[in-house]
Chain A
Amino acid sequence: MNELHGSLFTILQLGLTFSVCAVVWITLMAGLYQLVRDKLRHTHLMHRRPRRLLQGHQAN
C-alpha cells in the first residue's frame, strides 16, 4: 500500500512538473522566436529605408 502511494506521488509530481515546464517553455520559445523575428524585420526595414529615400531623390 505504501509502495503504491509512493509511486502515485512520484507519478503525480513528475506529471505536474513536466506539464508546467512544457507549457511555460513552449510559450517562452515561441515568444523569443517572435522577438527575434520582429527585431530582424525592424533591422531589415531600417537598412532598406535610406536606399528608398535616395532613389526618391534621384527620381526627382
Chain B
Amino acid sequence: MSEQKITIDAFTPPEMAERMENVGVKKANLDFWSMFALAALAGAFIGLGAEFFTLVTTDSGLGFGLNKLVGGLAFSLGLILVVVAGAELFTGNNLIVMAWVGGKLSLGQLMRNWVTVYFGNLAGSLGVVALMYLSRQWAFANYQVGATALNIANAKVNLSFTEGVIRGILCNVLVCLAVWLCVSGRSVIDKILAIVFPITAFVASGFEHSIANMYFIPLGLLLKGEPEVLTAAGKVAGDLVNLDLQGFAHNLLAVTTGNIFGGGFLVAAVYWFIYRRPREASKHFRASQMLDLFLAPPAAKSPTDREEHSA
C-alpha cells in the first residue's frame, strides 16, 4: 500500500506565485452570476468588519494607539470571512494582475472580473448599510456609535485627492500582502494568522480601503439626517458640507486608483517579476512585448472563436 505524504510546511514563495496565477485564472473564468453573488458577499463581509470596527472603537476608554489596534483587530473579521468562507473582493482580486502579466489572461478578462466584482462589492456593502440603518444599532451608547460612524465618514470625504490615492496605495499593499500570505497557508488557522497583522496594521494606520468606504460613507450619509447623532457627534449641518454623493464619488475615485496601484502593481506585478518572469526572454526584452499585454487578443480562445477560425 502506498503511503500518503502529509506535509504541514507552508508553501514557499515561488509555489505561492504559481498558485496565485492559477487562482487568478480560475477567478477570472467564473460565470457572471457566480462572480457577482460572491462579490456581493464580500462587500457584505467587509461591511460587517467595518461595523464591528465602529462599535469597538466607540468610547473604548483606551489611548489613541490601543484604540486603533483593537479596531484593526475587529476589522480583520471582514477579510477572514472573505478568505475562509470564500468570496470575491475587489482589492484582493487586484492580485489577478499576476495571471495577466504572466500571459494567462487577457486584459479584457481581468477587467471583466474587476468591473463585476467592484459593483458586486458595492451592492453587498449597500445591503449591509441598509440593514444597519434599519436596525438602529447606531443608537447604542446614547447615539455614540452613530457619532463615531458619522465622524469616520466625514473624515474620509474631507481627504484631498492625493491623500486618498496614497493612503489607498498603502492600504492595498497590506491587504494584498495579507491575501498573498494566505496563499502560503494550508489550514484555516494559518490563513487567519496571516490576515490579522497586515489588516490590523492598515486599519490602525488609517489607510483607505475602497470597499470598506462603500460601507462607511453611505452609512454616514444616512446618519447625517439624524438629529440625535449630530448632537452626539457635536456637529451641525455646516460641518458636514462634503458628506454627500459627490464627496463619496471623489473618495472612491482616489482610493480605488490607489488600491489598484498598490495591490496590482506594487505587490502582484513585483512578485510576478521576482518569481514568474520568463528568465530567457527577459534578457531580450522588447517594448513590443509590453504592448502585447495591452493589445493582444485573449490568451485562451472561447469554443465559439475556435469554431469560427476553423470554419
B162 CB contacts on chain A under 8 angstroms: 13-14, 16-17
* B280-306 near A? 1/0 per residue, CB < 8 Å: 000000000000001100100010110
Chain B residue nearest to A46 (CB atoms) is B304
B110 CB contacts on chain A under 8 angstroms: 31
A25 CB contacts on chain B under 8 angstroms: 257
Interface of A is mostly: helix
Q: How large is the interface on B (under 10, 10 to 19, 20 to 34, 35 or more residues)?
A: 20 to 34
Q: How large is the interface on A (under 10, 10 to 19, 20 to 34, 35 or more residues)?
A: 20 to 34
Residue pairs across A and B with Cβ atoms less than 8 A apart, 29 shown, are A14-B162, A17-B161, A17-B162, A20-B169, A20-B261, A21-B165, A21-B257, A23-B261, A23-B265, A24-B257, A24-B260, A24-B264, A27-B107, A27-B260, A27-B264, A28-B260, A30-B107, A31-B107, A31-B110, A34-B111, A34-B294, A35-B111, A35-B112, A35-B115, A38-B108, A42-B302, A46-B304, A48-B308, A52-B311
Q: Does A57 contact B (CB under 8 A)?
A: no
Contact assessment for A38 and B304 in the assembled complex, using a CB-CB cutoff below 8 Å? no
A52 CB contacts on chain B under 8 angstroms: 311
Chain B residue nearest to A38 (CB atoms) is B108
Q: Does B92 contact A (CB under 8 A)?
A: no
Q: Which residues of A approach B to under 8 Å, CB–CB?
A: 13-14, 16-17, 20-21, 23-25, 27-28, 30-32, 34-35, 37-38, 41-42, 45-46, 48-49, 52
Contact assessment for A37 and B257 in the assembled complex, using a CB-CB cutoff below 8 Å? no
Output the residue of B106, B165, B311 with the most chain A CB within 10 A: B165
Contact assessment for A45 and B169 in the assembled complex, using a CB-CB cutoff below 8 Å? no
Chain A residue nearest to B262 (CB atoms) is A20
Chain B residue nearest to A20 (CB atoms) is B261
A28 CB contacts on chain B under 8 angstroms: 111, 260
Contact assessment for B112 and A20 in the assembled complex, using a CB-CB cutoff below 8 Å? no
Q: Does B258 contact A (CB under 8 A)?
A: yes
